[in-house]
Structure 1
Amino acid sequence: MTDEALGTAPSVSLADVRANMVNVEIVKHVSKSGQILRWAVIEAQNGFAVTGRPSCAVSAENDNAAKGEKVAIENTENEMWPLMGYALREKLQS
């Protein structure tokens, strides 16, 4: 098998994951100790909501909202990937 053949089979790309996202909500939680966590809740085109691991700032002084949101979204995109792979496999099997 050549490298050229590797890209021809059906697969899920990051562009596919992002195209499937219809809504992104960021949920922020501040613990009693001041630790800031952010989760991204992503709604897919079919209405299914997915969340990933949170981003985390150990203290409020270190918090960067834009960076925290970016990390939270990336973490949730990583959770969507296997779900979309499963759906693609189901589609290919039928």
Structure 2
Amino acid sequence: MLDEQNIDREIVSKGLTAPRLTPASIDATIKSERYWIAPGTTLTICVLILQNGFTVTGESACASPENFDEELGRKIARNNAREKIWPLEGYLLKQRLHEGSN
């Protein structure tokens, strides 16, 4: 897995200054979060509610119930949900750039 913070630092150090998404800009889109564990399972679902009211979801589950850890399940599910924000925000930024060039 790539480390977002290190990649962001490398982008900045190379002087790549065009409009872009950053880990901070992705985090800023998140208004709140909710979690749900399906009863009797290891399935954890994270719902991220974005500033505009749109929602993205992420899931985690483990094959062996003995390995289930609620805190870890939440972290993994949240990360999986957060990853879905990047393409949404990327599209939005590209659309804004496109509209600004016309």
The TM tier, using the shorter chain, reads 0.7 to 0.9
Deviation per CA, 1:3-25: give whole Å up to 9, x if none.
Answer: 724x2111111111111100101
Out of 78, 81, 94, which is 1:76 matched to?
81
- 1:16 corresponding residue in structure 2: 25
CA distance in 2, matches of 1:72, 1:82: 17
CA distance in 1, matches of 2:68, 2:57: 21
Q: Which runs of 5+ in 2 are unaligned?
A: 1-12
Structure in which a larger fraction of residues adopt helix: 2
Deviation per CA, 1:13-49: give whole Å up to 9, x if none.
Answer: 111111110010112114xxx5411111101111101
1:47 aligns with 2:50: no
**Higher relative contact order at CA 8 Å, sep ≥6: structure 1 or structure 2?**
1
- 1:4 corresponding residue in structure 2: 14
TM-score normalised per structure 2: 0.76
Aligned partner of 1:39: which letter? I
Deviation per CA, 1:52-87: give whole Å up to 9, x if none.
Answer: 3x1112233211111110000000110111001101
Tell me which stretches of 4 or more aligned residues in structure 1 moved more than 4 Å.
Answer: none
Q: Which runs of 5+ in 1 are unaligned?
A: none
CA distance in 2, matches of 1:11, 1:40: 26
TM-score normalised per structure 1: 0.82
> What is the number of residues matched between the two proteins?
87
